[in-house]
Amino acid sequence: MSFTKLRKEIKIKDVWEARKQISSIICRTPVIQSTILSELISRNVYLKLENVHEVGAFKVRGAANKILSLGEEERKRGVTTYSTGNHGMAVAYVAKKLGIDAVVCISNRVPKAKVDSLKRLGAQIEIVGDSQDAAGVHCYQLEKDKGLTVIEPFDDPYVIAGQGTIGLELLEDLPNLTDVIVPLSGGGLLSGIGLTLKSMDRNIRVTGVSMEKSAVMYESLKACKPIMMEESETLADSLLGGIGLDNQYTFQMVQKYMNDVVLISEEKIAYSMGFMMDKHRMILEGAAATGIAAVLDGKIPHQKGDVAVIISGQNVDLSVLPTIIQKYLYKK
pLDDT for 5 equals 44
In contact, 250 and 191? CB cutoff 8 Å: yes
pLDDT for 7 equals 63
**Per-domain residue ranges of the chain:** 12-56+156-331, 60-150
Angle between helices 86-98 and 112-120 (to 10 degrees): 10
pLDDT for 64 equals 98
Q: Distance between CA atoms of 249 and 87, rounded to whole angstroms?
A: 18
pTM exceeds 0.85 for this model: yes
Q: Does CATH number 3.40.50.1100 belong to domain 60-150?
A: yes
pLDDT for 6 equals 40
CATH topology of domain 12-56+156-331: Rossmann fold (3.40.50)
Same fold, 12-56+156-331 and 60-150: yes
Which residues of the chain are under the pLDDT cut of 70? Answer: 1-8, 332
pLDDT for 131 equals 84
pLDDT for 219 equals 96
pLDDT for 142 equals 92
Q: Distance between CA atoms of 207 and 327, rounded to whole angstroms?
A: 27
Q: Are strands 45-49 and 31-33 parallel, antiparallel or unpaired?
A: antiparallel
